[in-house]
Amino acid sequence: MPSANVYNVTEWSVGDPYEDVGVVINSMIADIKRRQAVSDLNDGGKPGAVIYIPPGDFRLVTQVVIDISFLRIVGSGHGFTSSSIRFNTPLHEMKQWHEVWPGGSRILVDISGEASEGEAAGAAFLVKRAGNPRISSVEFADFCIDGLHFSGAPSDDAENSYRNGKTGIHVASANDSFRITGMGMVYLEHGIVLYHSDASTIDNNFIAECGNCVELRGMGQASKISNNLIGAGYIGYSICAENFGGLLVSGNNVFPRGRSSIEFSGVARSSITGNRFHSFYPGMLVFSGNCSENLVSSNHFLRDREPWAPMTRYDNGLDDQFGLLHLNGDNNSVMSNHISASIDPGFLKPADEKPVIIRLVSGRGNYIANNHIVATTASSQANDTPNSACFSTQVEAILSTKNLTALDVIAIKVEPGSVRNTILDSGSDAQVLIDRAVNAFRGTPVPGQ
């Protein structure tokens, strides 16, 4: 007898998965709760279930609400394709296209959540449960959540607004041991929002062309954001966390745009290691609200200018004095990072001041050592070739490292409010602004001519 705990959205008696897969999944969850009603029966009782979403286009009109532990929703394809390129391609050209929509095991988020009701209302998948224990081991794997369209301002460019009030997965209650792996998310205002997470795994997902990608909110501990391909819009965060301890952000390839690539607020004793970050704006890493005892090491940071014409009108509003890395907090370690900044001086804001790479705004006891800062001028030109050339435009920009001229920057600026820091081998005497009376400093030796 096959297990009743294995569900397939295309083989269920309630609802039409192509018209509203939300009704189907909610019906399955009700069935699981009906069948698994006793919490302690023969040393078990509520093992949960797996719901399979085969490849296909499944519209979601009704929000899925998950309030049981051990539920796995799994598909057979993350199905990402660039909707951003598609919506910036002339219609006549697109008629020749092989396909125009994302695919795989694809959820078309067609929910009517009002932005005014908050993010939870616009979530395709909402996880919420009161009482004890915390909801545990809900898993999302290997399917696609597609928000279809952006609809925000400016109205003449809505599809580039990164706003539509839609969220992929919103976890509102305290939770334990969740796993989100192999997912694809595209054209959502928020990809993943987890409140009060303990021991979460967010690994090997593809979350791009979303307003925000991964947000750890409320508070939390001992989680892992790793090995993902991530890239938010200019309005939001690629990765953010607040009031979190013991977070490990490692092995991610975080591409533009992203208001910030990664932003921590009140985060302590966490790690950002071995990532590759690429951004078009200042403030690509931000520590706000006192972040302490964190490690930032072995990361590659690249900031250059937006090379793709449809997006050059947007940025995150920050100027180059903000700092490419903008840090507040105590006893952090910033070690062994490579930081490349390549900017046409004509685009610096303000144009007459040296841009700041690492800015230590407040806090004490930080240790900044062995960072290699490479600043060059780039003669970036916005590309006006057909939109489908986006790929080669981007690759050309990133490979343009020859014949660059050195750009004069402030490698590190330690503000007066920040004291007792140690800065070693991360910039020459001339490149570091620091009060040596209250901080320790050893300049990187300068090669002769």
Residues 389-448 that bind a second copy (CB under 8 A): 391-392, 394-395, 397-399, 401-402, 419-422, 424-425, 436-442, 444-448
Among 62, 64, 86, 281, binds a second copy (CB under 8 A): 86
Q: Which of 27, 65, 72, 265 binds a second copy (CB under 8 A)?
A: 72
**Token reading at 414:** 């330690």
CB 40, min distance to a second copy, A:
5
Q: Which of residues 5-44 bind a second copy (CB under 8 A)?
A: 5-6, 8, 10-11, 39-40, 42-44
Closest CA to 104 of 161, 62, 142: 142
Q: Of 73, 215, 68, which Cα lies nearest the Cα of 136?
A: 68
Q: Which residues contact 272 (CB under 8 A, 6 or more apart)?
A: 249, 250, 262, 285, 294, 295, 296, 297, 299
Q: Residue for token digits 């569900």?
A: 7
Residue 303: both structure tokens together? 């900031």
Nearer to a second copy, 170 or 278 (CB): 278
Helix (H, G, I), strand (E, B) or coil at 265: strand
| Chosen residue from 129, 217, 326, 359 binding a second copy by CB under 8 A | 129
Q: Which of 15, 22, 79, 191 binds a second copy (CB under 8 A)?
A: 79
290 to 329: interface string for a second copy, x by CB under 8 A? x-xxxx-xxxx-x---------------------------
Q: Which one, of 225, 310, 316, lies nearest residue 273 by Cα?
A: 225
| Nearest distance from C-beta of residue 345 to a second copy, angstroms | 18
- Per the listing, tokens 């001028």 go with 377
Q: Of residues 149-178, which lie at the interface with a second copy (CB under 8 A)? A: 174, 176-177
Q: Tell how many helices (H) and how many strands (E) occur in the chain.
A: 4, 42
Instruction: Compute the distance between CA of residue 72 and CA of residue 18 in angstroms, rounded to an integer.
Output: 20
Could you identify the residue written with the tokens 């208001």? 259
Q: How far apart are CA 428 and CA 445, in angstroms?
A: 6
Q: Six-digit token pair at 71?
A: 């539920």
Which of 30/446 has CB closer to a second copy? 446
Residues 311 and 160: beta-carbon distance below 8 Å: yes
Q: Is residue 80 at the binding interface for a second copy, with CB under 8 A as the rule?
A: yes
Among 151, 271, 312, 321, interactor with a second copy by CB under 8 A: 271
According to the binding rule CB under 8 A, does residue 248 interact with a second copy?
yes
Rg of the chain taking only CA atoms, in angstroms: 23
**Interface with a second copy in residues 356-385 (CB under 8 A):** 365, 367, 369-370, 372, 374, 376
- 388 makes contact with a second copy (CB under 8 A): yes
Which of 120, 128, 265, 274: binder of a second copy (CB under 8 A)?
Answer: 274
Q: Does 226 bind a second copy (CB under 8 A)?
A: yes
Per CB under 8 A, contacts with a second copy among 333-352 are 333, 335-338, 340
Binding a second copy (rule: CB under 8 A), the pick from 27, 61, 128, 137 is 137
> Whose Cβ is closer to a second copy: residue 90's or residue 154's?
90
Per DSSP bridges, beta strands 244-245 and 260-265 are unpaired
